[in-house]
Structures are given as C-alpha cells and as structure tokens.
Amino acid sequence: MPSFDVVSKVAWAEVTNALDQASREVAQRFDFKDTETSLEKTEEGIVIRANSEERARAAVGVLQEKLVRRKVSLKHLDVGEPAPGPKGSARILVKVKEGIEQEKAKQVIKLLKDKKLKVQASIQGDSVRVSGKKKDDLQEVIALLRTEDFGIVLSFENFRD
C-alpha cells in the first residue's frame, strides 16, 4: 500500500549559515556600531541582544533577510516580544519551529476527510502519514496540500510504493 509522510522540517545548516552571516553584517554595519548587538544560537532558539529595543528589532530584520536569501521560510520563526534587560538593553528570543503540531496535523487530516479522498491519514509524532491504494490518490493529496496554507511549511518525504 503506497504511503508518504507530510512533515515540516528546517534546514538547520542554512539557519546556521544565515545566523553567521547576520552576525558578521551586524558587526560591520555602521548603524550597529557601539550598540553591543549580538546574535547567538541557544537551546531555546536564537537570542538577539542589543542596547535598545529598536536595534534588537533591526537585528531581527537582518536575520530574516539572510534566512530568506538562503530559502528558509519565515514561517519556521516565532519572533518573541522584546524583553527589557539591564541598563535599558533589550533581548529578543526567536524560536525556530520544526515539526507539525497536533492542532495543525488535525487540520490536515480534517481537510483530507472533507475532500472525501480515498486515503487514510494518521498522526505519527510530529508528522502525518498518508496511505492509499493508488499512487494517483497520493499525488492528488500532495497537490491539494500544496494549495492550502496551514501557517507552516509542509514537505513530503518517505514515499513508499
């Protein structure tokens, strides 16, 4: 029985490269001079620190620009609110989301059931497995999911015949 997985994955190598490029640009740009702006990757996400809230927001813009150039969707990012730090500084946490949340997975399954396609869909952790009797049905599902916007980036992998 043919099947495939619907996933939402981040190209971590591209994120790291974009982060490095953004850090270098922030270090070199004149408008960031003497603002103590830094970008670093931590376990909780990407932390951006600056001596003012507007400089921190500008650094987020630089990071987003570099991610777009490296073809990483901004839908993977969850930019937090600036948190005040010591001496008027600001800190912004940018979380990188990977995987399909339960709620979004249920929306995908509901869409497939509403369209009355001859496939079965099930939630497998942070992905959705779709299986059907014919390969054509699965290709129809992929075409349908590409037209819908769930607020996340969907990709299709692990296609088995």
Tokens of 100: 């399909």
In order of their start, the domains of the chain are: 3-8+100-160 (3.30.70.860), 12-96 (3.30.70.990)
Mean pLDDT of the chain: 89
- The pLDDT of residue 114 is 87
| 117 band by pLDDT with thresholds 50, 70 and 90 | confident
**Distance (Å, whole) CA 113 – CA 67:** 35
- The pLDDT of residue 115 is 83
Sign of CA dihedral 16, 17, 20, 25: negative
| 31 band by pLDDT with thresholds 50, 70 and 90 | confident
How confident is the model over 85-100, as pLDDT tens digits? 888 889 999 999 888 8
**Distance (Å, whole) CA 141 – CA 21:** 38
**Distance (Å, whole) CA 120 – CA 91:** 45
